[in-house]
Amino acid sequence: MPTQLELRIVFPSSPCDESILRRNISDLEEAGFQVRYDIPPPNTDLPFLSSSFENRLNELTDALVDKSDSPILCARGGYGASDLLSFLPWGKLKSATPKWLVGFSDVSALQSALFSKLGWPSIHGPMPGTDLWGESGTQDIDLLYKLLRDTKKMEGSIRIQEISRKNFRTGEGWLFGGCLSVLCNLIGTPYFPHSLRGAFLFLEDTGENPGKVLRMINQLIMSGILESCSGLIVSQFEDSTMNMVLQNEIANRVHIPVYVSSDFGHVSPNFPLGIGANAEISQDKLHWTYGV
């Protein structure tokens, strides 16, 4: 079985705690990966960004156009990735070797753009520059390691619970999704898919109050994006009590099947999900495959 051992870490969004990052890079190295990274110089003018616009753009571009097929891990989310979208060399990237980009939160902007513009799949999954990495065990990290060792054939699963069966069409489709607020800000741009026909759309977020979450769900509904989806999978948005209320209200508003899961998002464990992968829902699980 082919094994992918080299990884690249990039910093397109907010700064991370270097001690956390270095500790988790040690775990990656102990697992057999060769990790390439350079801590970027801080952005003193905008400290909520990992580095200057030029540094972040050049680093990401260099990683994406690299002739190898080494997967790219984003250190953390926060804010900043969407700043780069209009300035990436999309023409040059069309002839580049596709890369698997791993991350979640703000990284959803890059994953959506790479899929929409180039058809590149990616992994919504743990990031080594966050304190969520391995916080509640290593089940998600272990699966991520397995996936990165052979990017030609991948599979994974999450637990789900069906709460609405409206207009059920099929239990088969493909996966797309990520951070709700980040994706909503891409609607109507070249960096969001033209169609989600047949997709199971998975959504999560953090730090958004119930009104903001429902406002964004309304945007998805009114834009027509959800109409052709095979289903909607929602994870956590707020505290557990309000989360259940929100999940049920979302199910009341949309007209496609709705499932809930606590296995992904701004949580630990955050089980990897393959954006662009084939997906099948059976009983209480969503199983996804790529190249299998």
Angstrom distance (rounded) from CA 19 to CA 21:
5
Q: Binning pLDDT at 50, 70 and 90, where does residue 260 land? A: very high
- Whose structure tokens read 């705690």? 17
The Cα 84–Cα 279 span in angstroms is: 30
119-140: per-residue pLDDT in tens?
Answer: 999 999 999 999 999 999 999 9
Provide mean pLDDT across the span 216-228.
Answer: 96
- 123, 274 contact by CB (below 8 A): yes
Looking only at the bridges linking them, the beta strands covering 101-103 and 34-36 are unpaired
For residues 197 and 275, give the distance between their C-alpha atoms in angstroms, rounded to a whole number.
Answer: 14
Residue 89 contacts residue 113 (beta carbons within 8 Å): no
pTM (global) more than 0.85: yes
Mean pLDDT, the chain, as a whole number?
Answer: 94
pLDDT at 239 over 80: no
CB 79 within 8 A of CB 14: yes
> Which backbone phi and psi does 9 adopt, to 5 degrees?
-110, 130
Residue 61 identity (one-letter amino acid): T
Domains and CATH numbers, the chain: 6-152 (3.40.50.10740), 156-290 (3.50.30.60)
Confidence band of 1 (pLDDT split at 50, 70, 90): very low
% of the chain beyond a pLDDT of 90: 90
